[in-house]
């Protein structure tokens, strides 16, 4: 499909909320792109179809790895829903033992049962239906009439004192329930469990249940090696399958924005679709957020707010990118962590840029705030030094001093994990890597690139145009 075009959608005939068209937390049906059929890349279409088929297949353990915030969990949830499965999502960050894993599953099941029971009671009450009538249990995509056995299993989960019960009782209650329903258990951020021993123990605890169709078990991770723990053990061969969630093609990301704007009756030229996709750095969540910010900037909350003939404007799109990027200011923790381990001169020496005072680490971030510096090819430390010296006068700033500062920044970790876009040696927790033999920095994380390009300078109170004037000597800092 050629989407490098200008489009205007037809007349608006129904009221739709922007949050129903673009979303970063749930699947937005109006802008969702099924890459199994719609991807511009043949290999991606094939990989997605194989993954969909595996998720739908009973009796195996599925491992999915890929780019951070690339939509792995949303994709898995949608595939399960389309296949008629319900699901619960367990959080790896809260698991310290196999017992924790099963207790969390029980808590999630119990919470859903009680919520559904409450909803059923309210619906029946408002419709004048007796609450003693044979109920239907609904969870996720499932709506099933339970017989006496199934009802007993629902009651068993509902009656558990989860934290005080013997773990075997908790696990057996979960397995009996999962066996009687088409249910999947997703363990998100599997890489957050740092112990390889614990990851293996969790896989062992679901191996037999998966083979006996007592639930479907899916493990979602960023680095592939996290999932190898099962594949290195002979008892898992043929029982678990590991799949890469492929990177997004730029044209596929453009299609997300195009479909959403089209549904809202907003015209958008192909060049602005491309502009959005490039600044999203292979990340569909970023595309959704940029589009949300664009609508918010125009105070468009629903379809009727949008004037007939509305079109995406470059100036407002740039502002939306800034709003989005400023929201990524947690990357400033990199600066703070580097400052904590630095000599006083690195932190206390201040450079004046107009009315803004910055230290050396902030100057390095300023030097990185350009497409050339954040490209996949990286930037030489010597080039960073030249960029800095165009803006300020510092005779003491030599390559050795800058090297030390750069390496402190690269060593800093922040509170989220990162996918490995680029060289295999990029750490999953470091947004940058220092290539020592070439004295070069590579910015590997897509969200960090967005922050450097659009958010860091505005957060300081600076603009690229200001830096250009200072560098060209048109004004004095």
User: What is the pLDDT at residue 420?
Assistant: 37
- Whether residues 77 and 131 share a domain: the answer is yes
pLDDT tens digits for 272-286?
Answer: 999 999 888 778 988
Q: What is the pLDDT of residue 433?
A: 83
For residues 127 and 240, membership in a common domain is answered with yes
Q: Is 416 a member of any domain?
A: yes
Is the domain of 201 the same as that of 322? Answer: no
Residues 174 and 189 in one domain: yes
Last residue within a domain, chosen from 245, 265, 282: 245
pLDDT of residue 152: 65
Q: How many domains does the chain have?
A: 3
Q: What are the residues whose beta carbons fall under 8 Å from the beta carbon of 104, sequence distance 6 or more?
A: 90, 91, 94, 95
Any domain includes 33:
no
- Which structural domain, as residue segments, surrounds residue 275? 18-27+250-326
What pLDDT shows up at residue 145? 38
Does one domain contain both 76 and 193?
yes
Question: Residue 63 has what pLDDT?
Answer: 92
pLDDT digits (tens, 9 = 90+) for 49-101: 999 999 998 888 999 988 777 889 999 999 999 998 889 999 898 899 999 99
The answer on 212 and 120 residing in a single domain is yes
**Quick one: pLDDT at residue 119?**
62
**Pair 272, 210 in one domain:** no
| Same-domain pairing of 350 and 219 | no
Half-sphere exposure of 189 (CA within 13 A, CB side): 15
The pairs formed by 388-395 with CB atoms below 8 angstroms and a separation of 24 or more are 388/363, 388/364, 390/471, 391/351, 391/353, 391/363, 391/366, 391/467, 391/470, 391/471, 391/477, 392/351, 392/352, 392/353, 392/363, 392/477, 394/349, 394/351
User: Same structural domain for residues 273 and 353?
Assistant: no
CATH number at residue 209: 3.40.50.300
* Statement to judge: residues 197 and 269 lie in one domain: no
Which of 245, 272, 299 is the endpoint of a domain? 245
Is residue 70 in a domain? yes
The pLDDT value recorded for residue 160 is 62
Cα atoms in the 13 Å half-sphere on the side-chain side of 52:
17
Write phi, then psi, for 138 (nearest 5 degrees): -130, 125
- Per-block average pLDDT, block size 10, for the chain (477 residues)? 38 74 90 95 95 89 84 92 90 91 89 67 58 42 39 64 72 87 90 88 92 92 69 50 90 97 96 91 87 94 95 92 85 90 83 91 93 86 93 88 90 57 42 83 82 90 86 59
CA end-to-end span of the chain, whole Å? 50
Instruction: Tell me if 476 is assigned to some domain.
Output: no
Q: 229 and 340 share a domain?
A: no
Helix (H) or strand (E) holding 114: helix 98-127
Considering the domain architecture, whether residues 126 and 240 belong to the same structural domain is answered as yes
Domain stops at, among 286, 302, 326: 326
User: What is the Cα–Cα distance from 280 to 289, expressed in whole angstroms?
Assistant: 9
At residue 295's C-alpha, the angle toward residues 293 and 298, to 5°, is 110
């Amino acid at each position: 499909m050629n989407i490098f075009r200008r489009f205007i959608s037809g007349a608006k005939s129904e009221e739709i909320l922007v949050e129903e068209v673009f979303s970063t937390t749930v699947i937005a049906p109006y802008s969702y792109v099924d890459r199994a059929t719609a991807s511009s890349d043949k290999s991606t279409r094939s990989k997605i179809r194989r993954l969909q088929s595996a998720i739908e297949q009973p009796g195996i353990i599925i491992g999915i790895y890929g780019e951070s915030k690339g939509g792995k969990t949303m994709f898995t949830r949608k595939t399960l829903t389309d296949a008629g499965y319900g699901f619960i999502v367990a959080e790896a960050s809260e698991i310290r033992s196999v017992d924790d894993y099963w207790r969390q599953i029980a808590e999630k099941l119990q919470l859903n049962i009680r919520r559904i029971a409450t909803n059923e009671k309210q619906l029946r009450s408002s419709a004048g239906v007796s609450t003693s009538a044979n109920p239907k249990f609904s969870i996720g995509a499932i709506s099933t009439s339970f017989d006496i056995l199934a009802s007993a299993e629902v009651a068993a989960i509902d009656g558990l004192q989860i934290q005080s019960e013997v773990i075997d009782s908790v696990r057996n209650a979960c397995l009996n329930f999962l066996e009687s329903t088409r249910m999947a258990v997703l363990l998100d951020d599997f890489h957050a469990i740092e112990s390889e021993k614990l990851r293996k123990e969790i896989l062992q605890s679901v191996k037999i249940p998966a083979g006996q169709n007592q639930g479907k078990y899916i493990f979602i991770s960023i680095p592939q090696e996290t999932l190898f723990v099962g594949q290195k053990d002979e008892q898992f061969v043929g029982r678990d399958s590991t799949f890469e969630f492929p990177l997004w093609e730029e044209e596929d990301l453009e299609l997300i924005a195009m479909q959403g704007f089209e549904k809202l009756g907003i015209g958008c030229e192909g060049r602005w679709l491309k502009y959005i996709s490039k600044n999203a750095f292979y990340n569909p969540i970023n595309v959704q957020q940029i589009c949300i910010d664009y609508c918010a900037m125009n105070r468009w909350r629903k379809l009727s707010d949008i004037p007939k003939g509305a079109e995406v404007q470059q100036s407002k799109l740039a502002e939306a990118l800034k709003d989005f990027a400023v929201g990524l200011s947690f990357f400033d923790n990199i600066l703070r962590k580097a400052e904590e381990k630095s000599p006083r001169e690195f932190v206390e020496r201040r450079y004046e840029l107009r009315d803004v005072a910055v230290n050396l680490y902030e100057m390095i971030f300023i030097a990185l705030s350009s497409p050339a510096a954040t490209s996949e090819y990286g930037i030489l430390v010597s080039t960073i030094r030249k960029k800095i010296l165009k803006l300020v006068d510092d005779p003491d700033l030599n390559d050795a001093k800058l090297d030390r500062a750069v390496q402190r920044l690269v060593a800093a970790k922040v509170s989220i994990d990162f996918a490995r876009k680029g060289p295999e040696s990029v750490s999953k927790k470091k947004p940058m890597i220092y290539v020592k033999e070439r004295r070069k920095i590579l910015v590997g994380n897509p969200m960090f690139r967005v922050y450097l390009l659009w958010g860091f300078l505005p957060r300081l109170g600076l603009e690229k145009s200001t830096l250009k004037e200072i560098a060209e000597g048109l004004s004095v800092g």
